Structure 1
Amino acid sequence: MSDLECKLLIIGAGPGGYVCAIRAGQLGLDTIIVDPQAPGGTCLNVGCIPSKALIHAADEFHKMAYASRGPLGISNDNPSIDLAKTVVWKDGIVKRLNDGVSGLIKKAKTKLVVGEARFIDGKNVSVRTPDGERNIRAQNIVIATGSAPVELPFLPFGGDILSSTEALSLGSVPDSLAVVGGGYIGLEIGTAFAKLGSKVTIIEATEAILPQYDQALTKPISNRLAELGVQVMLETKAEGFQNGVLTTDQGEVVAEKVLVTVGRRPRTSEVGVKDLMLTMDDDFIRVNDCCQTSMKGIYAIGDVTGEPMLAHRAMAQGEMVAEHVAGHKVAWDKRCIPAVCFTDPEIVICGLLPSEVKPNTALVSEFPFAANGRAMTTEREDGFVRIVARKEDHAVIGIQAVGVGVSELSAAFSLAIEMGATLEDIAATVHAHPTQSEGFQEAALRALGKALHI
């Protein structure tokens, strides 16, 4: 097949890659994007979107199954779920979004090549397509190949040992599920299957679930897991799985399926990044504030550049890189990137945690949802909103929340920090009543010694 040439070549059509491609096309750059699967990457195809669909289905089923036990006067008759049908619905959402992304790429006049790319050198890439080998020469190349689940040598993926990809495509609800890893992926999926009726056991090697967060944020999660009948085994190491039994250093766990969620690794070896001799930070590609690597004309965005491994971070980087290649004066200068755990209840983290601030330099204030009228009307009063602000000028430098539906507050939280809001700014902003967002205003008022509802 004939060779191709372009101004910008993007390897990987995940959130970072496809956003980079769309923006580059809008800017008039001759752009090609390469990926072996449908556009959207892990997030759209086997990650963020499918998992949220499963979580929604599990929530709806759990509400029906346990409605008659609550105080609302609702009765029900033994609801059931056909998980295979749920998966078909989930796959339909993914397909719609795939088609939408493909349409946007085409609209931007960017060429999509389906195939597996590998570097020949810093300007040339070989692509193995269904129709044969193609070579692409580019003035600039963006590495946006994302990440993959980490596989444990004693728990290799296959059969009843699942990565998150396989767990999101099961045709039936397993009677029992062992989740190795108490991070956000394991807890999100494990909680969903517990609501669907599985006997779930979480095995975590450290002394706490979600170990990167403080206990105040994770306690409501632990309490909810207990309510759902999920067993959590902390400071426990998995050792192997055979004949429906997971062996750990603290005993055996009966499990029909085992979900391994112990982290993700950057996809760099698959495309031959090592051959370029780029400067690395361990397994991740080191980049500057324009996402440029140590080789001229080579950029890297998203998960291959390290934490935080978040789709929206990759998207923002992709947009910036397209503008940089187009000659715009831009740089990566984000004060805060929100992170959300779609557990039950949800957690939102923006900016600095109290533990990350020098002692006696910050004001830390919390407002509990137990004092929020909207939370009361949803039967879920667990959780709070917390603000961290500098003492000297009351500038907000961190916001955290845990509670049902708090993911939808993440934009307000991150915007406040990006815009340099003070406690007074937030306290003086009229928040709609009755909403959980009032907890944000109340936390600011409380920090100023002006609490109204507590």
Structure 2
Amino acid sequence: MVVGDVTTGTDLLVIGAGPGGYVAAIRAGQLGLDVTLVEKDAYGGACLNRGCIPSKALITATSLKHDAANAEEMGIHANPAVDMTQMMSWKDDVVDNLTGGVEKLCKANGVNLIEGTAEFSGENSVRIVHGGEGQGSESLDFEHCIVATGSRPIQIPGFEFDGEHVLSSEHALSLESVPDELVVVGAGYIGMELASVYAKLGTDVTVVEMLDDVLPPYEADVSRVVKKHAKDLGVEFHFGYSASDWEETDDGIVVTASPAAADGGQAAEAEDEAEALELEADKVLVAVGRSPVTDTLNLEAAGLEPNEQGFLETDDRCRTDVEHIMAVGDVAGEPMLAHKGSKEGQVAAEVVAGEPSAVDYQAMPAAVFTEPEIGTVGLTEAEAEEQGFEPAVGKFPFQASGRALTTGETDGFVRIVADEPSGFILGAQIVGPEASELVAELSLAIEMGATLEDVASTVHTHPTLAEAVMEAAENALGHAIHTLNR
């Protein structure tokens, strides 16, 4: 024990107050455990403070501006002015409201809150270093621990974040002015969401991606719709390139992008462009993914070791190799989704309390808040075939949806994948308006073991976008009304 430390004890220690950690702490408090939650930065973690919530706030604000300025077909003519300071202030108010709510909920459920950085000093103890000069430290003994330290943006060589010229996603969510030109490195979901945000604000956006398409995990017909919309917004793409260097100029910066190595995804679109590109910009946003935060934990002292990707491997009850130490959220591996972390946090707390709880990832949805949105859950057709199913696939285009037509957003579709012999729904892919909301119905269908008949025979309100889900199920059965059956 460090001289001057005060040692206390707790049933359950939770390290990190993001969506995984604070949910675990609250659920454990509800179950009667003595819970201590340690957070070094801000309650709500990266999601509420520097990720999910602020990005969606800006997506909403910039979409409102863009839609108002492009509604001539509806007889609306406008040229909205953007007050960037006020927009960021509104975004910050949304964040503050939610993070303040998290702290109140924790306290209301009897959770002991400690501000500081926790590192293991043994298998059943941590040292907590408090921030600020002269704040000191304390030691804490625990019976169980849940690690929920989250993730941070990945830096690439030569592009260390400075917040001025080289931005992380966190920096891009707090700019005080709209850049005239922006280079985005990475066409994953973070890069594509933020590229759309700034394109709608009038920025000339160029995306550099070493692979041959946007949103690599998604099927081509899904990502194609998003790429088309981004191009319509004026976003320029260079596939098969990686950012290799940058330098400051009198007018801003110049980013050098070199052809990617063959094993990095040399793209067909870049075959005729063997030379490096020099891209002028005001700023460069590096959005190539996130890495788990484990370097602050002194894992060796607890007998833990991350895998090659830096994650703490867990079983379906969120237990690591050290059974009384658990891991949830981004630090526990892909998919790195806030709602996945929350579910794991809930399960971990219940396991500590002796409940028969486990995580089932079969119905874990994912969403991308691009324009249009993407919502997916379960298996694709190809994945279903690989697992030995006989897939029945139904599809319904939003161009045939009355509600979609009334919103002016008709690109995209709902696709349902089911097991043909049994009718059980295995997965769904949605790209189009409100996809992040529509996917919930199909997540529930998979969770409860629903069939195509169950969804198709459920009466859906008219006119709604949700009718597209019903029609896709009917299409898989061969009797859709408002689209041609396969």
TM-score range, shorter chain: over 0.9
Provide the C-alpha distance between the structure 2 equivalents of 1:238 and 1:38, rounded to a whole number of angstroms: 32
Q: Secondary structure at the match of 2:195?
A: helix
Q: Give CA deviations for 1:274-314 in whole Å, capped at 9, x if unaligned.
A: 44342543211111111111113111111111100011111
Provide the C-alpha distance between the structure 2 equivalents of 1:241 and 1:368, rounded to a whole number of angstroms: 43
Provide the C-alpha distance between the structure 2 equivalents of 1:391 and 1:62, rounded to a whole number of angstroms: 43
Number of the residue aligned with 1:95: 96
Deviation at 1:273, TM superposition (A): 2.0
Q: Is the 8 A contact 1:177 1:201 kept in 2?
A: yes
- Note the 1:191-202 alignment, pairs <5 A: 191-202=196-207
Number of the residue aligned with 1:57: 61
Moved over 6 A (4+): none
Provide the C-alpha distance between the structure 2 equivalents of 1:46 and 1:124, rounded to a whole number of angstroms: 30
Number of the residue aligned with 2:272: none
Number of the residue aligned with 2:347: 320
Deviation at 1:333, TM superposition (A): 2.4
Structure 1 residue 285 corresponds to structure 2 residue 290? no
| Structure 1 runs not aligned, ≥5 long | none
Number of the residue aligned with 1:420: 449
Q: Provide the identity percentage.
A: 45
TM-score by length of structure 1 reads: 0.97
Provide the C-alpha distance between the structure 1 equivalents of 2:430 and 2:351, rounded to a whole number of angstroms: 35
Number of the residue aligned with 1:370: 399
Provide the C-alpha distance between the structure 2 equivalents of 1:122 and 1:168, rounded to a whole number of angstroms: 38
Q: Number of paired residues? A: 451
Letter in 1 for 2:96: K
Deviation at 1:79, TM superposition (A): 2.1
Deviation at 1:383, TM superposition (A): 0.4
Number of the residue aligned with 2:10: 6
- Note the 1:95-244 alignment, pairs <5 A: 95-130=96-131, 131-158=135-162, 159-243=164-248, 244=253
Number of the residue aligned with 1:397: 426
Number of the residue aligned with 2:255: 246
Letter in 2 for 1:216: D
Instruction: Name which of 22, 29, 32 aligns with 2:26.
Output: 22
Structure 1 residue 303 corresponds to structure 2 residue 330? yes
Q: Is the 8 A contact 1:21 1:110 kept in 2?
A: yes
My pick for the range that moved more, 356-365 or 386-395, is 356-365
Q: Is the 8 A contact 1:7 1:140 kept in 2?
A: yes
Provide the C-alpha distance between the structure 1 equivalents of 2:55 and 2:377, rounded to a whole number of angstroms: 22
Q: Secondary structure at the match of 1:34?
A: strand
Structure 1 residue 86 corresponds to structure 2 residue 115? no
Q: Is the 8 A contact 2:384 2:426 kept in 1?
A: no
Q: Give CA deviations for 1:196-231 in whole Å, capped at 9, x if unaligned.
A: 010001111001100111111011111101110100
Provide the C-alpha distance between the structure 2 equivalents of 1:79 and 1:334, rounded to a whole number of angstroms: 43
Number of the residue aligned with 1:385: 414
Q: Is the 8 A contact 2:320 2:327 kept in 1?
A: yes
Structure 1 residue 334 corresponds to structure 2 residue 361? yes
Number of the residue aligned with 1:262: 288
Q: Give CA deviations for 1:130-167 in whole Å, capped at 9, x if unaligned.
A: 42111111011111000001001121111310001100
Provide the C-alpha distance between the structure 2 equivalents of 1:226 and 1:399, rounded to a whole number of angstroms: 26
Q: Is the 8 A contact 2:69 2:77 kept in 1?
A: no
Provide the C-alpha distance between the structure 2 equivalents of 1:222 and 1:372, rounded to a whole number of angstroms: 22
Deviation at 1:253, TM superposition (A): 1.0
Deviation at 1:65, TM superposition (A): 2.5
Question: What is the CA RMSD across the aligned residues, in angstroms?
Answer: 1.2
Provide the C-alpha distance between the structure 2 equivalents of 1:393 and 1:87, rounded to a whole number of angstroms: 51
Deviation at 1:396, TM superposition (A): 0.5
Deviation at 1:323, TM superposition (A): 1.0
Q: Is the 8 A contact 1:14 1:42 kept in 2?
A: yes
Deviation at 1:241, TM superposition (A): 1.2
Provide the C-alpha distance between the structure 2 equivalents of 1:124 and 1:277, rounded to a whole number of angstroms: 12
| Structure 2 runs not aligned, ≥5 long | 259-275
Q: Give CA deviations for 1:313-346 in whole Å, capped at 9, x if unaligned.
A: 1111111111111111222223210000000000
Deviation at 1:252, TM superposition (A): 1.0
Q: Is the 8 A contact 2:123 2:301 kept in 1?
A: no
Q: Is the 8 A contact 1:279 1:293 kept in 2?
A: no
Provide the C-alpha distance between the structure 2 equivalents of 1:198 and 1:329, rounded to a whole number of angstroms: 52
Provide the C-alpha distance between the structure 2 equivalents of 1:277 and 1:163, rounded to a whole number of angstroms: 33
Q: Is the 8 A contact 1:268 1:274 kept in 2?
A: no
Number of the residue aligned with 1:72: 74
Q: Is the 8 A contact 2:28 2:353 kept in 1?
A: yes
Q: Is the 8 A contact 1:362 1:388 kept in 2?
A: yes
Provide the C-alpha distance between the structure 1 equivalents of 2:80 and 2:473, rounded to a whole number of angstroms: 43
Q: Secondary structure at the match of 1:258?
A: strand
Letter in 2 for 1:247: T
Provide the C-alpha distance between the structure 2 equivalents of 1:316 and 1:65, rounded to a whole number of angstroms: 40
